[in-house]
Structure 1
């Protein structure tokens, strides 16, 4: 919208819409292309969403233009030093202050500073939430209860020559409940595709639309659940992340130093074998999984990461109610990392 050079080579536009379809990975779209002909045939390809492949992290990356190591939201559940493990979508307040826990200005704030209207369209219940204050600050929030309601609001906002962010959570919910290979997921995909076609067809010539996602998804069969033995949890003070990407925080009394982290990582590697990538915090930082890590963010990271390969998941308790979740994400597989980047309107080549 500023007319500046950009990595995607997008042309200057008077208005832009970024549609975020939660849980729509490139692999899933490719395998269900017949149910989403508009999205599947659109130009633009795909890109990596960033790690960990979970909504809180990816949406913060999308709206700040930075990876987790800089914006500071580092997992679905993450350690808040001095406060314990807290959910990064819901458990806001106190030391997890939306104004400072997410460390960076948002692109909406930058747009406002340049005189551009910025509009966020989501479900009404998210209008005043802490996560909204952390990653969507600077934008006017407009709520629509159904997918159809939200697309209608986006159609109206597109006429305002604004930067518009449209969030669609229905695919992710269907995937978690029944799996991305379920009829419910396909129904949500077909609805998304139909609304996208209508929205794109009604755009003015100088308004562009990008469709992307925060992560993909894998369906995890209960036979692929791994229950961590108690001895692997000795000396572990906190467990953050999610079943496809655990973050283990060592107890201070055990000596949370490099040598101890190496020993814990080795023990987990011996137990899980090729079922996961296991890396210490320092290895994660050195290999750039989270981009450059700011010193303020480093203590939030687990001392050891256990990122599932294939279609498995790791639980600490066989009775964990989360074992009922079918579709999951969080790890480094292409099915989770790779998401669509589709272009319509003035952004189409």
Structure 2
């Protein structure tokens, strides 16, 4: 197997379980008790990117100690990582194992953020792990999720936010204000506040761009407001991001050795799920792809990736069926593209994520209000 796993401390904190830890504090378990809890997820805000631009996020970095870092899941992409945060399950258990994955029953790729309805997928069966909001409401606690109105009724929302009352709020500042207000007014509540602008700016303009910095400044200003008495706040992220310049893009087409064996080119540019034709030997295909991606990516078969624990300690049969026959994780700031696809618009994306680098997998874990150290 050619797979360079990052070295991580056995004691490293993970985004998996952060919501349950917050709920435990609301219940007064483990020696900490808070009136209510707010979980803020800043999509795309890596710990390294945050510290690099500390001068533009003085509030957040001023409350961030060296140890206030957690590790995201693999793949380090929104569908997988947000679901892990909100279910306290790894991708191998909750089943959202990538950005585009194969629905084998219909033999088609499905975008895990946007294509639930078009693909006829039931969020409750495709993602069967209970959410933190279901656990909270089952125990008699109020639960709220704040986000953009356009996401209120999406399949991904039903998969990850079920059990919560969805509250649509436009701007980051207004969303944080509304989250704090709900937490103050509802004793014992769990409130989730999702902020997407940093991720959007990074994808379009890059992590070091003026647009990304402006989005970071907006988030920092929004979170600098006073936290109501007794309310505990955790600020984290689903993943970080790296910039991929055009000369670091690798395009695979009919001239590539392994492409002739690929039926579906899934995942995303920094973490491919390659689904092979039925009669293809997976080990032989892996060798071809290792030759094609020598020095730019790590390649593993599905069984190798599962055995290595990439998708978590437990992988259900349903999740395993969605993992590519080959898993290809880009190194450094590389990105890998399907040159045979008609739509090549994705190649204009600058900031990207999904792979194993520290920039993508290390995220902040900052405590505010009643949880501040």
Q: TM-score, normalised by structure 1?
A: 0.94
Q: Distance in 1 between matches of 2:334 and 2:307?
A: 26
Q: Distance in 2 between matches of 1:311 and 1:74?
A: 21
1:243 aligns with 2:255: no
1:332 aligns with 2:356: yes
Aligned counterpart, 1:111: 136
Aligned counterpart, 1:309: 331
1:33 aligns with 2:54: yes
CA contact (8 A) 1:310 1:333 kept: yes
| Cα shift at 1:121 | 0.3
Aligned counterpart, 1:154: 179
* Map 1:236-315 → 2, pairs under 5 A: 236-252=262-278, 254-255=279-280, 260-291=281-312, 292-315=314-337
Aligned counterpart, 2:6: none
Where structure 2 has 5 or more consecutive residues not aligned to the other structure, the ranges are 1-25
CA contact (8 A) 1:73 1:88 kept: yes
Where structure 1 has 5 or more consecutive residues not aligned to the other structure, the ranges are none
1:173 aligns with 2:208: no
Aligned counterpart, 2:85: 62
| Cα shift at 1:2 | 1.8
1:80 aligns with 2:106: no
CA contact (8 A) 1:57 1:75 kept: yes
Number of residues of Structure 1 aligned to a counterpart in Structure 2: 337
Deviation string, structure 1 residues 266-289 (Cα, Å, up to 9, x no partner): 111112112111111011100101
Aligned counterpart, 2:19: none
| Cα shift at 1:95 | 4.7
Question: Of residues 57, 71, 92 in structure 2, which corresponds to 1:48?
Answer: 71
Q: Distance in 2 between matches of 1:24 and 1:209?
A: 17
Aligned counterpart, 2:234: 210
1:196 aligns with 2:204: no
| Cα shift at 1:250 | 1.0
Q: Distance in 1 between matches of 2:179 and 2:249?
A: 40
Q: Distance in 2 between matches of 1:103 and 1:303?
A: 23
CA contact (8 A) 1:277 1:307 kept: yes
* Secondary structure of residue in 1 paired with 2:294: helix
| Cα shift at 1:28 | 0.2
CA contact (8 A) 2:35 2:231 kept: yes
Q: Distance in 2 between matches of 1:295 and 1:125?
A: 32
Q: Distance in 2 between matches of 1:154 and 1:311?
A: 36
CA contact (8 A) 1:207 1:346 kept: yes
| Cα shift at 1:58 | 0.6
| Cα shift at 1:348 | 1.1
CA contact (8 A) 2:227 2:368 kept: no
Cα distance, 1:315–1:329 mapped onto 2, change above 3 Å: same
Q: Distance in 1 between matches of 2:358 and 2:286?
A: 23
1:137 aligns with 2:162: yes
Q: Distance in 2 between matches of 1:27 and 1:341?
A: 12
Aligned residues: CA RMSD? 1.3
Q: Distance in 2 between matches of 1:233 and 1:243?
A: 15
CA contact (8 A) 2:173 2:221 kept: no
Shifted more, 263-272 versus 53-62: the winner is 263-272
Deviation string, structure 1 residues 18-47 (Cα, Å, up to 9, x no partner): 000000001100100111011112145111
Q: Distance in 2 between matches of 1:135 and 1:142?
A: 15
* Secondary structure of residue in 2 paired with 1:274: coil
